Amino acid sequence: MAVNEKDVEAIVKQILTQMGGGAMNSASPVSSGAAPFTSLSNMAGAAPIPATAHVAMLVEKERFEVKEFPIPPVGDGDILVKVEGCGVCGTDAHEFKRDPFNLIPVALGHEGTGEIVKMGKNVRKDSAGKDLHVGDKVVTCMIFKDDPDITMFDLNKQNVGDSDVYGLLPDDDVHLNGWFSDYILIREGSTVFNVSDLDLDSRILIEPSAVLVHAVERAKTTGILRFNSRVAVQGCGPIGLLCIAVLRTMGVENITAVDGNEQRLAFAKRLGANQTVNFNDHKGIEALTAAVKVSFDGHLADFAFQCTGNPMAHANIYKFIRNGGGLCELGFFVNGGDATINPHFDLCSKEINLVGSWVYTLRDYGTTFDFLKRAKGIGLPVTELITHKFPLNEINEALKTNLAMTGLKIAVVNS
Protein backbone atom coordinates (compact mmCIF):
# COMPACT_ATOMS: atom_id res chain seq x y z
CA MET A 1 0.00 0.00 0.00
CA ALA A 2 1.46 3.27 -1.04
CA VAL A 3 -1.10 5.62 0.45
CA ASN A 4 1.03 7.43 2.96
CA GLU A 5 0.35 9.57 5.99
CA LYS A 6 0.72 12.75 3.98
CA ASP A 7 -2.28 11.77 1.87
CA VAL A 8 -4.31 10.99 4.95
CA GLU A 9 -3.37 14.41 6.26
CA ALA A 10 -4.52 16.00 3.01
CA ILE A 11 -7.83 14.12 3.11
CA VAL A 12 -8.51 15.21 6.66
CA LYS A 13 -7.65 18.78 5.75
CA GLN A 14 -9.96 18.65 2.76
CA ILE A 15 -12.84 17.23 4.79
CA LEU A 16 -12.35 19.88 7.45
CA THR A 17 -12.34 22.60 4.81
CA GLN A 18 -15.55 21.25 3.32
CA MET A 19 -17.22 20.93 6.69
CA GLY A 20 -16.34 24.49 7.56
CA GLY A 21 -17.29 25.61 4.04
CA GLY A 22 -20.68 27.10 4.96
CA ALA A 23 -19.45 29.17 7.84
CA MET A 24 -16.40 30.32 5.93
CA ASN A 25 -18.51 31.36 2.97
CA SER A 26 -20.82 33.47 5.07
CA ALA A 27 -17.82 35.16 6.66
CA SER A 28 -16.11 35.85 3.37
CA PRO A 29 -18.31 35.81 0.29
CA VAL A 30 -17.07 34.18 -2.93
CA SER A 31 -14.57 36.89 -3.64
CA SER A 32 -11.32 35.03 -3.36
CA GLY A 33 -11.08 34.55 -7.13
CA ALA A 34 -9.65 31.08 -6.74
CA ALA A 35 -12.94 29.62 -5.56
CA PRO A 36 -12.29 25.90 -5.71
CA PHE A 37 -15.83 24.85 -6.56
CA THR A 38 -17.95 26.01 -9.45
CA SER A 39 -21.12 24.09 -8.80
CA LEU A 40 -22.78 21.68 -6.45
CA SER A 41 -24.03 18.34 -7.61
CA ASN A 42 -27.79 17.96 -7.45
CA MET A 43 -27.64 15.21 -4.84
CA ALA A 44 -28.04 16.33 -1.27
CA GLY A 45 -24.94 15.69 0.75
CA ALA A 46 -22.77 14.83 -2.28
CA ALA A 47 -19.32 16.32 -2.50
CA PRO A 48 -19.08 19.50 -4.56
CA ILE A 49 -17.60 19.26 -8.02
CA PRO A 50 -14.31 21.13 -8.34
CA ALA A 51 -13.51 23.47 -11.21
CA THR A 52 -10.58 21.41 -12.39
CA ALA A 53 -9.64 17.77 -12.76
CA HIS A 54 -6.28 16.09 -12.33
CA VAL A 55 -5.34 13.89 -15.24
CA ALA A 56 -2.22 11.72 -15.43
CA MET A 57 -0.88 12.39 -18.91
CA LEU A 58 1.83 10.22 -20.40
CA VAL A 59 3.91 13.10 -21.79
CA GLU A 60 6.86 11.02 -22.96
CA LYS A 61 7.97 7.42 -22.72
CA GLU A 62 8.16 6.33 -19.09
CA ARG A 63 6.92 9.65 -17.71
CA PHE A 64 3.47 10.67 -16.57
CA GLU A 65 2.73 14.20 -15.47
CA VAL A 66 -0.39 14.94 -13.43
CA LYS A 67 -1.96 17.91 -15.25
CA GLU A 68 -4.83 20.08 -14.21
CA PHE A 69 -7.63 20.80 -16.70
CA PRO A 70 -10.91 22.62 -16.29
CA ILE A 71 -13.87 20.26 -15.96
CA PRO A 72 -15.86 20.95 -19.14
CA PRO A 73 -19.62 21.47 -19.21
CA VAL A 74 -21.53 18.16 -19.06
CA GLY A 75 -23.55 17.76 -22.26
CA ASP A 76 -27.12 16.41 -22.32
CA GLY A 77 -25.90 12.87 -23.02
CA ASP A 78 -22.69 12.99 -20.99
CA ILE A 79 -21.78 11.62 -17.57
CA LEU A 80 -19.19 13.14 -15.25
CA VAL A 81 -17.60 10.50 -13.04
CA LYS A 82 -15.45 11.02 -9.96
CA VAL A 83 -12.80 8.35 -10.35
CA GLU A 84 -12.23 6.01 -7.42
CA GLY A 85 -9.62 3.74 -8.90
CA CYS A 86 -8.18 2.13 -12.01
CA GLY A 87 -6.15 -1.01 -12.58
CA VAL A 88 -2.85 -0.92 -14.45
CA CYS A 89 -3.11 -3.16 -17.52
CA GLY A 90 -0.36 -4.77 -19.59
CA THR A 91 -1.50 -2.48 -22.39
CA ASP A 92 -0.76 0.58 -20.22
CA ALA A 93 2.67 -0.84 -19.45
CA HIS A 94 3.40 -1.35 -23.16
CA GLU A 95 2.32 2.20 -23.96
CA PHE A 96 4.28 3.60 -21.01
CA LYS A 97 7.47 1.85 -22.06
CA ARG A 98 7.38 2.03 -25.85
CA ASP A 99 4.38 4.07 -27.10
CA PRO A 100 3.50 1.35 -29.68
CA PHE A 101 0.12 3.00 -30.34
CA ASN A 102 1.75 6.36 -31.03
CA LEU A 103 -0.63 8.13 -28.64
CA ILE A 104 1.66 10.38 -26.56
CA PRO A 105 0.47 12.71 -25.05
CA VAL A 106 -2.31 10.45 -23.77
CA ALA A 107 -4.50 10.03 -20.70
CA LEU A 108 -4.22 6.29 -20.03
CA GLY A 109 -6.21 3.95 -17.77
CA HIS A 110 -9.14 1.83 -19.03
CA GLU A 111 -9.75 -0.49 -16.05
CA GLY A 112 -11.32 2.28 -14.03
CA THR A 113 -14.40 2.85 -11.97
CA GLY A 114 -16.00 5.68 -10.09
CA GLU A 115 -19.12 7.47 -9.00
CA ILE A 116 -21.45 9.54 -11.15
CA VAL A 117 -21.41 13.11 -9.88
CA LYS A 118 -23.29 14.77 -12.72
CA MET A 119 -25.34 13.60 -15.71
CA GLY A 120 -26.85 15.24 -18.74
CA LYS A 121 -30.65 15.42 -18.80
CA ASN A 122 -30.91 12.76 -21.52
CA VAL A 123 -29.02 10.10 -19.58
CA ARG A 124 -31.44 7.54 -18.14
CA LYS A 125 -30.07 4.00 -18.45
CA ASP A 126 -26.77 2.17 -18.79
CA SER A 127 -25.85 -0.07 -21.72
CA ALA A 128 -27.65 -3.02 -20.08
CA GLY A 129 -30.86 -1.04 -19.56
CA LYS A 130 -30.28 -0.47 -15.84
CA ASP A 131 -31.24 2.94 -14.42
CA LEU A 132 -28.49 5.48 -13.84
CA HIS A 133 -28.49 8.07 -11.07
CA VAL A 134 -26.03 10.47 -9.55
CA GLY A 135 -24.19 8.47 -6.90
CA ASP A 136 -24.15 5.23 -8.90
CA LYS A 137 -20.84 3.44 -9.47
CA VAL A 138 -19.97 2.77 -13.08
CA VAL A 139 -17.41 1.27 -15.44
CA THR A 140 -16.92 1.79 -19.15
CA CYS A 141 -16.29 -0.94 -21.68
CA MET A 142 -14.38 -0.62 -24.89
CA ILE A 143 -16.74 -2.83 -26.86
CA PHE A 144 -19.67 -1.09 -28.50
CA LYS A 145 -23.19 -1.53 -27.25
CA ASP A 146 -25.07 -2.04 -30.50
CA ASP A 147 -24.06 -5.71 -30.78
CA PRO A 148 -23.67 -7.73 -27.58
CA ASP A 149 -21.70 -10.48 -29.31
CA ILE A 150 -19.20 -8.37 -31.20
CA THR A 151 -15.57 -9.15 -30.38
CA MET A 152 -12.34 -7.20 -30.58
CA PHE A 153 -11.58 -9.35 -33.61
CA ASP A 154 -14.73 -8.06 -35.32
CA LEU A 155 -13.90 -4.49 -34.41
CA ASN A 156 -10.46 -4.78 -35.97
CA LYS A 157 -11.95 -6.38 -39.05
CA GLN A 158 -14.37 -3.51 -39.44
CA ASN A 159 -11.62 -1.05 -38.76
CA VAL A 160 -13.66 0.86 -36.21
CA GLY A 161 -11.35 0.95 -33.26
CA ASP A 162 -11.55 4.50 -31.99
CA SER A 163 -15.01 4.88 -30.57
CA ASP A 164 -14.94 5.05 -26.80
CA VAL A 165 -11.86 3.28 -25.58
CA TYR A 166 -11.39 5.56 -22.60
CA GLY A 167 -7.78 5.34 -21.57
CA LEU A 168 -6.55 4.82 -25.12
CA LEU A 169 -8.08 7.85 -26.84
CA PRO A 170 -5.95 10.43 -28.59
CA ASP A 171 -5.80 13.65 -26.56
CA ASP A 172 -8.39 16.30 -27.43
CA ASP A 173 -9.62 19.56 -25.91
CA VAL A 174 -11.67 17.72 -23.26
CA HIS A 175 -8.56 15.91 -21.91
CA LEU A 176 -10.64 13.96 -19.36
CA ASN A 177 -10.31 10.79 -21.43
CA GLY A 178 -8.57 8.29 -19.18
CA TRP A 179 -9.27 6.67 -15.82
CA PHE A 180 -5.86 7.59 -14.37
CA SER A 181 -7.39 10.83 -13.16
CA ASP A 182 -9.75 12.15 -10.52
CA TYR A 183 -12.58 12.95 -12.98
CA ILE A 184 -13.48 11.49 -16.36
CA LEU A 185 -16.12 12.71 -18.82
CA ILE A 186 -18.06 9.84 -20.37
CA ARG A 187 -19.37 11.11 -23.66
CA GLU A 188 -22.83 10.41 -25.14
CA GLY A 189 -23.08 7.02 -26.83
CA SER A 190 -20.36 5.35 -24.79
CA THR A 191 -20.71 1.92 -23.28
CA VAL A 192 -21.24 2.30 -19.56
CA PHE A 193 -22.50 -0.06 -16.85
CA ASN A 194 -24.03 0.54 -13.45
CA VAL A 195 -22.04 -1.70 -11.08
CA SER A 196 -23.07 -0.15 -7.77
CA ASP A 197 -23.57 -3.61 -6.28
CA LEU A 198 -19.85 -4.45 -6.49
CA ASP A 199 -17.16 -3.27 -4.08
CA LEU A 200 -14.36 -1.03 -5.37
CA ASP A 201 -11.68 -3.73 -5.67
CA SER A 202 -14.06 -6.04 -7.54
CA ARG A 203 -14.95 -3.19 -9.89
CA ILE A 204 -11.26 -2.58 -10.62
CA LEU A 205 -10.99 -6.25 -11.60
CA ILE A 206 -13.98 -6.25 -14.01
CA GLU A 207 -12.04 -5.63 -17.22
CA PRO A 208 -9.32 -8.28 -16.71
CA SER A 209 -11.95 -10.74 -15.41
CA ALA A 210 -14.00 -10.27 -18.59
CA VAL A 211 -11.00 -11.59 -20.55
CA LEU A 212 -11.26 -14.87 -18.63
CA VAL A 213 -15.02 -15.13 -18.83
CA HIS A 214 -14.60 -14.83 -22.58
CA ALA A 215 -11.79 -17.42 -22.67
CA VAL A 216 -13.89 -19.91 -20.72
CA GLU A 217 -16.83 -19.28 -23.05
CA ARG A 218 -14.49 -20.00 -25.98
CA ALA A 219 -13.29 -23.16 -24.22
CA LYS A 220 -16.89 -24.33 -23.74
CA THR A 221 -17.47 -24.24 -27.51
CA THR A 222 -15.24 -27.32 -27.79
CA GLY A 223 -17.74 -29.32 -25.75
CA ILE A 224 -14.91 -30.76 -23.66
CA LEU A 225 -15.03 -28.61 -20.54
CA ARG A 226 -17.23 -30.31 -17.93
CA PHE A 227 -17.73 -30.16 -14.17
CA ASN A 228 -15.43 -33.13 -13.66
CA SER A 229 -12.81 -32.23 -16.29
CA ARG A 230 -9.13 -32.30 -15.39
CA VAL A 231 -8.01 -28.79 -16.26
CA ALA A 232 -4.44 -27.50 -16.43
CA VAL A 233 -3.88 -23.74 -16.19
CA GLN A 234 -0.40 -22.71 -17.25
CA GLY A 235 0.81 -19.33 -15.98
CA CYS A 236 -0.27 -17.82 -12.66
CA GLY A 237 -0.07 -14.13 -13.37
CA PRO A 238 -3.31 -12.17 -12.91
CA ILE A 239 -4.80 -13.76 -16.04
CA GLY A 240 -4.06 -17.37 -15.06
CA LEU A 241 -5.19 -16.77 -11.48
CA LEU A 242 -8.47 -15.23 -12.64
CA CYS A 243 -8.88 -18.16 -15.02
CA ILE A 244 -8.72 -20.55 -12.07
CA ALA A 245 -11.24 -18.46 -10.14
CA VAL A 246 -13.67 -18.36 -13.07
CA LEU A 247 -13.40 -22.14 -13.53
CA ARG A 248 -13.96 -22.69 -9.82
CA THR A 249 -17.04 -20.48 -9.66
CA MET A 250 -18.58 -22.49 -12.50
CA GLY A 251 -18.02 -25.72 -10.62
CA VAL A 252 -14.81 -27.09 -12.15
CA GLU A 253 -12.93 -28.67 -9.25
CA ASN A 254 -9.99 -30.63 -10.62
CA ILE A 255 -7.56 -27.86 -11.57
CA THR A 256 -3.77 -28.04 -11.73
CA ALA A 257 -1.90 -24.73 -11.77
CA VAL A 258 1.52 -24.64 -13.48
CA ASP A 259 3.98 -21.83 -12.76
CA GLY A 260 7.55 -21.21 -11.60
CA ASN A 261 6.72 -19.05 -8.60
CA GLU A 262 5.76 -20.73 -5.32
CA GLN A 263 3.98 -17.66 -3.98
CA ARG A 264 1.77 -17.47 -7.04
CA LEU A 265 1.10 -21.20 -6.88
CA ALA A 266 0.04 -20.86 -3.26
CA PHE A 267 -2.38 -18.12 -4.28
CA ALA A 268 -3.62 -20.31 -7.15
CA LYS A 269 -4.65 -22.86 -4.52
CA ARG A 270 -6.59 -20.26 -2.57
CA LEU A 271 -8.38 -19.27 -5.79
CA GLY A 272 -9.47 -22.80 -6.54
CA ALA A 273 -6.59 -24.91 -7.90
CA ASN A 274 -6.45 -28.37 -6.30
CA GLN A 275 -2.91 -29.18 -7.32
CA THR A 276 0.13 -27.16 -8.31
CA VAL A 277 3.22 -27.94 -10.36
CA ASN A 278 6.33 -25.76 -10.10
CA PHE A 279 8.11 -26.12 -13.44
CA ASN A 280 11.45 -25.30 -11.79
CA ASP A 281 11.24 -28.64 -9.96
CA HIS A 282 11.09 -30.61 -13.20
CA LYS A 283 13.84 -30.40 -15.79
CA GLY A 284 12.71 -30.91 -19.36
CA ILE A 285 9.28 -31.29 -20.92
CA GLU A 286 9.05 -35.05 -20.25
CA ALA A 287 9.57 -34.57 -16.51
CA LEU A 288 7.15 -31.64 -16.47
CA THR A 289 4.50 -33.63 -18.33
CA ALA A 290 4.98 -36.48 -15.87
CA ALA A 291 4.41 -34.06 -12.98
CA VAL A 292 1.19 -32.77 -14.53
CA LYS A 293 0.10 -36.39 -15.00
CA VAL A 294 0.84 -37.20 -11.35
CA SER A 295 -1.26 -34.20 -10.32
CA PHE A 296 -4.24 -35.77 -12.12
CA ASP A 297 -3.70 -39.23 -10.58
CA GLY A 298 -1.96 -40.61 -13.65
CA HIS A 299 -4.07 -38.86 -16.29
CA LEU A 300 -3.29 -36.09 -18.74
CA ALA A 301 -5.46 -32.96 -18.76
CA ASP A 302 -8.79 -33.01 -20.54
CA PHE A 303 -8.44 -29.31 -21.15
CA ALA A 304 -5.68 -26.73 -20.76
CA PHE A 305 -5.57 -22.95 -20.63
CA GLN A 306 -2.32 -21.31 -21.77
CA CYS A 307 -2.04 -18.02 -19.86
CA THR A 308 1.60 -17.02 -20.33
CA GLY A 309 3.01 -14.82 -23.09
CA ASN A 310 5.91 -17.22 -23.61
CA PRO A 311 6.09 -19.03 -27.00
CA MET A 312 7.94 -21.95 -25.39
CA ALA A 313 5.04 -22.38 -22.96
CA HIS A 314 2.68 -22.56 -25.92
CA ALA A 315 4.82 -25.25 -27.56
CA ASN A 316 4.97 -27.27 -24.34
CA ILE A 317 1.34 -27.25 -23.31
CA TYR A 318 0.16 -29.74 -25.96
CA LYS A 319 2.11 -32.42 -24.09
CA PHE A 320 -0.07 -31.96 -21.01
CA ILE A 321 -3.32 -32.71 -22.91
CA ARG A 322 -4.86 -36.12 -23.55
CA ASN A 323 -5.82 -37.35 -27.01
CA GLY A 324 -9.02 -35.62 -28.07
CA GLY A 325 -8.60 -32.98 -25.37
CA GLY A 326 -8.90 -29.23 -25.69
CA LEU A 327 -6.70 -26.17 -25.47
CA CYS A 328 -7.52 -22.49 -25.10
CA GLU A 329 -4.60 -20.19 -25.94
CA LEU A 330 -5.13 -16.72 -24.47
CA GLY A 331 -1.65 -15.68 -23.38
CA PHE A 332 -0.71 -13.69 -26.45
CA PHE A 333 -2.61 -10.49 -25.97
CA VAL A 334 0.11 -8.84 -28.05
CA ASN A 335 2.62 -10.36 -30.45
CA GLY A 336 5.02 -12.41 -28.35
CA GLY A 337 6.84 -14.08 -31.23
CA ASP A 338 6.53 -17.45 -32.99
CA ALA A 339 6.15 -20.83 -31.34
CA THR A 340 7.33 -24.11 -32.79
CA ILE A 341 5.07 -27.12 -32.50
CA ASN A 342 4.94 -30.42 -34.31
CA PRO A 343 1.61 -30.34 -36.12
CA HIS A 344 1.51 -34.13 -36.47
CA PHE A 345 2.27 -35.12 -32.88
CA ASP A 346 0.83 -32.09 -31.06
CA LEU A 347 -2.34 -31.40 -33.02
CA CYS A 348 -3.38 -33.93 -35.67
CA SER A 349 -2.62 -37.32 -34.20
CA LYS A 350 -3.95 -36.18 -30.81
CA GLU A 351 -7.01 -34.56 -32.37
CA ILE A 352 -6.66 -31.52 -30.14
CA ASN A 353 -9.55 -29.04 -30.12
CA LEU A 354 -7.83 -25.70 -30.15
CA VAL A 355 -9.45 -22.31 -29.59
CA GLY A 356 -7.85 -18.90 -29.37
CA SER A 357 -9.27 -16.13 -27.22
CA TRP A 358 -8.77 -12.38 -27.29
CA VAL A 359 -10.42 -9.65 -25.24
CA TYR A 360 -14.21 -10.15 -24.72
CA THR A 361 -17.67 -9.31 -25.94
CA LEU A 362 -20.15 -7.00 -24.33
CA ARG A 363 -22.23 -10.01 -23.27
CA ASP A 364 -19.21 -11.31 -21.33
CA TYR A 365 -19.28 -8.10 -19.28
CA GLY A 366 -22.64 -8.96 -17.74
CA THR A 367 -21.40 -12.47 -16.94
CA THR A 368 -18.32 -10.95 -15.36
CA PHE A 369 -20.36 -8.92 -12.85
CA ASP A 370 -22.05 -12.17 -11.80
CA PHE A 371 -18.72 -14.01 -11.64
CA LEU A 372 -17.28 -11.43 -9.23
CA LYS A 373 -20.34 -11.66 -6.99
CA ARG A 374 -20.32 -15.46 -7.05
CA ALA A 375 -16.57 -15.61 -6.37
CA LYS A 376 -17.07 -13.44 -3.33
CA GLY A 377 -20.05 -15.56 -2.32
CA ILE A 378 -18.04 -18.79 -2.24
CA GLY A 379 -15.13 -17.10 -0.47
CA LEU A 380 -12.54 -16.89 -3.24
CA PRO A 381 -10.11 -14.06 -2.37
CA VAL A 382 -10.20 -12.61 -5.89
CA THR A 383 -9.73 -9.02 -4.76
CA GLU A 384 -6.41 -9.98 -3.12
CA LEU A 385 -5.10 -10.02 -6.68
CA ILE A 386 -4.64 -6.28 -6.18
CA THR A 387 -1.28 -6.34 -4.44
CA HIS A 388 -0.32 -2.68 -4.80
CA LYS A 389 -2.27 0.56 -4.60
CA PHE A 390 -0.75 3.91 -5.49
CA PRO A 391 -2.21 7.41 -5.29
CA LEU A 392 -2.50 9.28 -8.61
CA ASN A 393 0.59 11.39 -8.01
CA GLU A 394 2.68 8.21 -7.76
CA ILE A 395 1.50 6.83 -11.08
CA ASN A 396 5.02 6.54 -12.52
CA GLU A 397 5.84 4.29 -9.57
CA ALA A 398 2.70 2.24 -10.26
CA LEU A 399 3.72 1.61 -13.86
CA LYS A 400 7.28 0.76 -12.86
CA THR A 401 5.96 -1.71 -10.29
CA ASN A 402 3.85 -3.30 -13.02
CA LEU A 403 6.88 -3.58 -15.31
CA ALA A 404 9.04 -5.02 -12.52
CA MET A 405 6.43 -7.79 -12.16
CA THR A 406 6.91 -7.96 -8.41
CA GLY A 407 3.20 -7.80 -7.67
CA LEU A 408 0.07 -9.14 -9.31
CA LYS A 409 -2.49 -6.46 -10.08
CA ILE A 410 -1.37 -2.87 -9.56
CA ALA A 411 -4.00 -0.19 -9.09
CA VAL A 412 -4.11 3.58 -8.87
CA VAL A 413 -6.62 4.56 -6.22
CA ASN A 414 -7.91 8.00 -5.32
CA SER A 415 -8.60 8.69 -1.69
The nearer residue to Zn ion, 109 or 326, going by C-beta atoms, is 109
Q: How far is the CB of 351 from Zn ion (least distance, A)?
A: 34
The nearer residue to Zn ion, 89 or 300, going by C-beta atoms, is 89
User: Which residues form the interface with Zn ion (CB under 5 A)?
Assistant: 89, 207
Phi (first) and psi of residue 375, to 5 degrees: -60, -45
Q: How far is the CB of 111 from Zn ion (least distance, A)?
A: 5
CA 343 and chain centroid, separation: 34
Neighbours of 87 (CB within 10 A): 28
Give 224-271 as a DSSP string.
---TT-EEEEE--SHHHHHHHHHHHHTT--EEEEEES-HHHHHHHHHT
Q: How far is the CB of 239 from Zn ion (least distance, A)?
A: 10
Length of the chain: 415
Residue 317: name the closest of 259, 360, 368 by CA. 259
The nearer residue to Zn ion, 89 or 273, going by C-beta atoms, is 89
The nearer residue to Zn ion, 260 or 336, going by C-beta atoms, is 336
Q: How far is the CB of 258 from Zn ion (least distance, A)?
A: 24
User: Residue number with the shortest CB distance to Zn ion?
Assistant: 89
The nearer residue to Zn ion, 204 or 232, going by C-beta atoms, is 204
Q: How far is the CB of 283 from Zn ion (least distance, A)?
A: 35
DSSP 34: -
Contact 166, 187 (CB under 8 A): no
Determine the Cα–Cα distance for residues 93 and 98; give it in Å rounded to an integer. Answer: 8
The nearer residue to Zn ion, 49 or 411, going by C-beta atoms, is 411
Give residue 312's region: left, alpha or beta (phi > 0; psi -120 to 50): alpha
Determine the Cα–Cα distance for residues 306 and 321; give it in Å rounded to an integer. Answer: 12
Contact 376, 351 (CB under 8 A): no
Determine the Cα–Cα distance for residues 411 and 200; give it in Å rounded to an integer. Answer: 11
Q: How far is the CB of 212 from Zn ion (least distance, A)?
A: 12
The nearer residue to Zn ion, 218 or 293, going by C-beta atoms, is 218
Q: How far is the CB of 208 from Zn ion (least distance, A)?
A: 6
